[in-house]
Amino acid sequence: MVEAAKLISVIGAGAADERQKQDAFQVGQLLAQAGWGVVCGGLAGVMTEACRGCATAGGLTVGLLPGNEHDAANQWCRVVLPTGLGQARNALVVLAGQGAIAVGGEGGTLSEIGHAIKAGRPVVSLGSWRVEGVPQAESPEQAVRMLLDMLER
Amino acid sequence: MVEAAKLISVIGAGAADERQKQDAFQVGQLLAQAGWGVVCGGLAGVMTEACRGCATAGGLTVGLLPGNEHDAANQWCRVVLPTGLGQARNALVVLAGQGAIAVGGEGGTLSEIGHAIKAGRPVVSLGSWRVEGVPQAESPEQAVRMLLDMLER
Amino acid sequence: MVEAAKLISVIGAGAADERQKQDAFQVGQLLAQAGWGVVCGGLAGVMTEACRGCATAGGLTVGLLPGNEHDAANQWCRVVLPTGLGQARNALVVLAGQGAIAVGGEGGTLSEIGHAIKAGRPVVSLGSWRVEGVPQAESPEQAVRMLLDMLER
Amino acid sequence: MVEAAKLISVIGAGAADERQKQDAFQVGQLLAQAGWGVVCGGLAGVMTEACRGCATAGGLTVGLLPGNEHDAANQWCRVVLPTGLGQARNALVVLAGQGAIAVGGEGGTLSEIGHAIKAGRPVVSLGSWRVEGVPQAESPEQAVRMLLDMLER
């Protein structure tokens, strides 16, 4: 028997500013330090930084790509899964994790917040969409703590 | 050569209150009167009423179901497509239309609003999620007019 | 209440020879004459000809496209659904019909035959893959007759 | 930078006989010994045994489930991804690997062979469907050797 990796979905756009990238890096790092891996959309920006933070802290990283080719993944994904599904892969990104942290983000991230709510996955916003029922964190530390608290309940 | 049906996505939850159902019915009816068909998730509540409004006014109705079985569709869908995709079918519902009107709704509807933004489909909210950049309509008439105006630009 | 369109999946490659195109056209035509519509992948070759045969005989045609854009559809699709799913849309093409007829075809068509078997949809091969348990028809007439017979059982 | 795991898709049915289970176990074991991980549908039968063979030999195992729940995975998956896609997840199973080995199997496996051909992934049959252009191996050793040879070319 193998212990399944415990994963948190980190969601956010490929086009991210410096603050969002730093936040994503720290979220990934804090998750790894708490024993979690990261699953994300496998591309640039928030996705790259969350993977880099997680991987450099020893955590497992999984990227679910929209296209068909492995080499579109960022260089910090340990498990690269080209889905070929386009934006429908967003539903898979949030199903894969036990919960989700949204860092910045655009329409795709909003779709993931919606899929998380629908699937009953707890989700925390860190400088992402302001949506009724989704708690807002002020820092990476708070975002990770809030989410892990929600998962323990 | 056949003229492809022009479709608008009507999105909203299966669990809807009376006001939302009436709104959805009228949205479907107004769309049909303006020469549009309706594509939706094919189930109950907002989806049923939007199809009923559209079909009784002579419009084409398309339902993209989450499951594998045709008979889960509501009785007002002319074209029933069981996708088997679960919630990932939400991405398809908004891709299928030229634009979307959200009536009420829960997490699934929010995911559809996000997918619409990502895919560049204009979207109007009628008593649905308050999301930055998504215009709010006060009535079915206004929702349909706003969306059709956005499509003409 | 609206009567849902009865659809048969016609599967086959975009790259088809003359014989396959004629076969596909006739299959579409015979299905329409028997009261059925056609659902397919919405692109060229077998898909175009099956739609053309069906539409010109008054049947409903539905195309489930792999990409995101409506305008990739052939000109004989009445209902155009861009899925954005890439090849995963093949599973949807066979779920949409009550049964399937394969005309010629390559890897994608083989995947559809497999999905049809898995989903319990009867499937007939007309110059397509020779697969255990899939009956081979010698002509469009025989293919349509065999499939409709299987559906009545 | 993290080295992405190299994965081979092992495809086959949940309902497998003793011979198929032994074959799947050995295929997984040989792949791990050659430095490869296994990606599969994450369920029972061939999928469980391929994961068990791979994991007990130190390889990485990934399961792409058809449903929404992590706990449907077999106990030898290190990375569990509930896709919610039903049978459409078969397209993802073959995209995830560099190539595929089919052990026994039913309609779902045939769909995966078709998706592999379409996606240009080499595929070897070990007591699975006899399909034109798909080489048949006589033993797990031969199947793994044939596939790895095809990948090196």
We report the CATH number of the domain holding residue B41 as 3.40.50.450
Q: Quick: pLDDT tens for C72-85.
A: 999 999 999 999 99
A87–C85 C-beta distance less than 8 A: no
A147 located within any domain: yes
Q: Do A107 and B119 touch (CB under 8 A)?
A: yes
What's the pLDDT at D4? 97
**Distance of residue A19 Cα from the nearest chain C Cα, in angstroms:** 32
The answer to whether residue B1 sits within a structural domain is no
B129 within domain boundaries: yes
- Torsion angle in degrees (nearest 10) through CA of C64, C128, D134, D9: 20
Report the pLDDT value the prediction gives residue B153, as an integer from 0 to 100: 82
Is a pLDDT exceeding 90 seen at residue D150?
yes
Whether chain B has a CB inside 8 Å of the CB on D68: the answer is yes
Model pTM? 0.97
**8 A C-beta contact, residue C21 and residue C46:** yes
Q: Does D69 touch chain B (CB under 8 A)?
A: no
B113-146 per-position pLDDT tens digit = 999 999 999 999 999 999 999 999 999 999 999 9
Question: Do the Cβ atoms of B76 and C119 come within 8 Å?
Answer: no
pLDDT digits (tens, 9 = 90+) for B37-96: 999 999 999 999 999 999 999 999 999 999 999 999 999 999 999 999 999 999 999 999
Average pLDDT over residues A33-37: 98
Given a contact as 3+ CB pairs under 8 Å, which chains touch C?
A, B, D
Look at residue D11 and tell me if it is in a domain.
Answer: yes
Sequence-distant contacts of C51-58: CB under 8 A, at least 24 apart: C51/B2, C51/C76, C51/C77, C52/C25, C52/C28, C52/C76, C53/C24, C53/C25, C53/C26, C53/C27, C53/C28, C53/C29, C54/C28, C54/C29, C55/B2, C55/C28, C56/C29, C57/C28, C57/C29, C57/C32, C57/C33, C58/C32
**Is residue C140 a contact partner of residue C23, using CB atoms and an 8 Å limit?**
yes
Contact B85/D88, CB-based, under 8 Å?
yes
Nearest to C147 by CA among C7, C2, C16: C7
Q: Does C120 touch chain A (CB under 8 A)?
A: no
CA separation for the pair D84, D66 (Å, rounded): 5
Return the residue in B64, B87, B112, B125 with the most chain A beta carbons within 10 A, the one to mutate for interface testing: B87
* Average pLDDT over every residue of A120-141: 97
Assess if residue A2 is contained within a domain.
no
Facing residue for C68 by CB, picked from A68, A84, A86: A86
Q: What pLDDT score does C41 carry? A: 98
Q: What percent of chain C has pLDDT over 70?
A: 100
Minimal CA–CA distance to B31: which of B153, B150, B152, B143? B143
Write out the two tokens for C93: 């093409």
Cβ contacts of residue B113 below 8 Å, gap of 6+? A110, A111, A114, B11, B100, B102, B123, B125, B128, B129, B131, B134
Q: Which chains touch A (3 or more CB pairs under 8 A)?
A: B, C, D
Asked if residue B71 belongs to a domain, the reply is yes
State which residue of chain D sits closest to B87, comparing Cα positions.
D84
**Chains C, D: CB contacts under 8 A, how many?**
92
A106: nearest CA in chain B?
Answer: B118
Query: Per DSSP, what are the bridge partners of residue D124?
Result: D101
Cβ of C62 within 8 Å of Cβ of B79? The answer is yes
Question: Are A62 and D81 within 8 A, CB to CB?
Answer: yes
How near does any CA of chain D get to the CA of B94, in Å? 18
What residues does B38 pair with on adjacent strands? B8, B61
Percent of chain D beyond pLDDT 90? 99
* pLDDT-derived band at D153, boundaries 50, 70, 90: confident
Closest CB to C2: pick one of B77, B85, B119: B77
- Residue B67's domain comprises 7-152
Q: What is the pLDDT of residues C49-74, one digit of tens each?
A: 999 999 999 999 999 999 999 999 99
Beta-carbon contacts of residue A71 (< 8 Å; ≥ 6 apart)? none
ipTM of this complex prediction, to 2 decimal places: 0.96
Name the strands in the sheet holding D123-126, side by side, starting at the edge strand that comes first in the sequence.
D79-82, D61-65, D37-40, D7-11, D100-103, D123-126
- Give the mutation candidate from B115, B125, B134 for the A interface (greatest A CB count, under 10 A): B115
C-alpha neighbours within 13 Å on the C-beta side of residue D40: 38
CA distance D32 to chain B (A): 32
- Quickly state the pLDDT bin for A153 (edges 50, 70, 90): confident
**Domain count for chain C:** 1
Chain D touching partners, 3 or more CB pairs below 8 A? A, B, C
Average pLDDT over all residues of chain D: 97
Asked if B111 has any chain A CB less than 8 Å from its own CB, the reply is yes
Q: Do C95 and B76 touch (CB under 8 A)?
A: no
Instruction: Assess whether pLDDT exceeds 90 at residue D57.
Output: yes
Question: Across the interface, which of D7, D84, D95 has its CB nearest the CB of A91?
Answer: D84
Is position C107 within any domain?
yes
* Confidence at C46, pLDDT banded by 50, 70, 90: very high
User: Looking at chain A, which residue has its C-alpha nearest residue D38?
Assistant: A79
Is C1 part of a structural domain of the chain? no
